[in-house]
């Protein structure tokens, strides 16, 4: 069982999302990530922002918990709150039908993240609400035959209805966002701007 963090972890960087992996948490085989093979030592070592802890990510996605503090995500009549990088140019009705591995977020953490996350500041971001957010499948590496052993080809979402899902070492749980409403748009951070978000 994964313990709920008592508070948001803080380091030299002001905020460490609860789903981030720490340097003293290891995966038994980094080439083949599967459910249940990462150690659980949150707060020990250094945060690894670019890596997501498999157990905490899956728990947050299953229970719709905030990806930063681990508490309940914000939810109202318009749906669950998600903080997404700006991908509005990817398709005309973005984010409708978007597959996400990022868990939802609570309102206080959304504003904290938009002020402190370098990636969100650089790329821009949108707060959206999704009334429907069914579990779609998993994200993991597909493999092809190699000369001596299988070779990882690419990481991609695979639906639970796809027979190939049995052969994907899953690293993230994926949901599909439906009935979406964009509630706040924020362009990329520009030099001279003092803050992002309200």
What does the pLDDT read at residue 168? 82
Provide the number of structural domains found in the chain: 1
Neighbouring residues of 44: CB distance < 8 A, sequence distance ≥ 6: 22, 23, 24, 25
Task: Give residue 66's domain range.
Answer: 20-186
The whole-number average pLDDT for the span 68-97 is 93
In a domain, residue 173? The reply is yes
In a domain, residue 75? The reply is yes
**Mean pLDDT score of the chain, rounded to an integer?**
80
Confidence of residue 28 (pLDDT cuts 50, 70, 90): very low
The least confident of 16-20, 23-27, 79-83, 147-151 is 23-27
The whole-number average pLDDT for the span 87-109 is 93
Answer positive or negative: Cα dihedral of 47, 83, 198, 71.
negative
pLDDT at residue 11 greater than cutoff 60: no
Backbone dihedral region of 45: left (phi > 0), alpha (psi from -120 to 50 degrees) or beta?
left
The encoded tokens of residue 106 equal 């609570």
């Amino acid at each position: 069982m994964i313990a709920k963090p008592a508070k948001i972890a803080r380091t030299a960087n002001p905020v460490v999302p609860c789903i981030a992996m720490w340097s003293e948490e290891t995966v038994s085989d980094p080439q083949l990530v599967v459910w249940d093979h990462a150690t659980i030592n949150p707060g020990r070592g250094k945060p690894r922002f670019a890596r997501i802890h498999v157990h905490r990510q899956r728990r947050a996605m299953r229970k719709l918990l905030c990806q930063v503090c681990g508490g309940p995500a914000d939810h109202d009549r318009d749906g669950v709150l998600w903080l997404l990088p700006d991908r509005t140019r990817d398709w005309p009705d973005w984010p409708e039908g978007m597959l996400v591995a990022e868990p939802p977020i609570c309102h206080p953490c959304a504003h904290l993240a938009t002020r402190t996350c370098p990636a969100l500041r650089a790329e821009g971001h949108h707060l959206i609400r999704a009334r429907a957010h069914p579990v779609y499948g998993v994200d993991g590496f597909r493999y092809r035959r190699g000369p001596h052993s299988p070779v990882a080809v690419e990481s991609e979402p695979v639906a639970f209805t796809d027979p190939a899902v049995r052969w994907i070492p899953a690293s993230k749980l994926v949901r599909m966002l439906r009935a979406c409403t964009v509630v706040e748009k924020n362009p990329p951070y520009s030099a001279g701007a003092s803050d992002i978000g309200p």
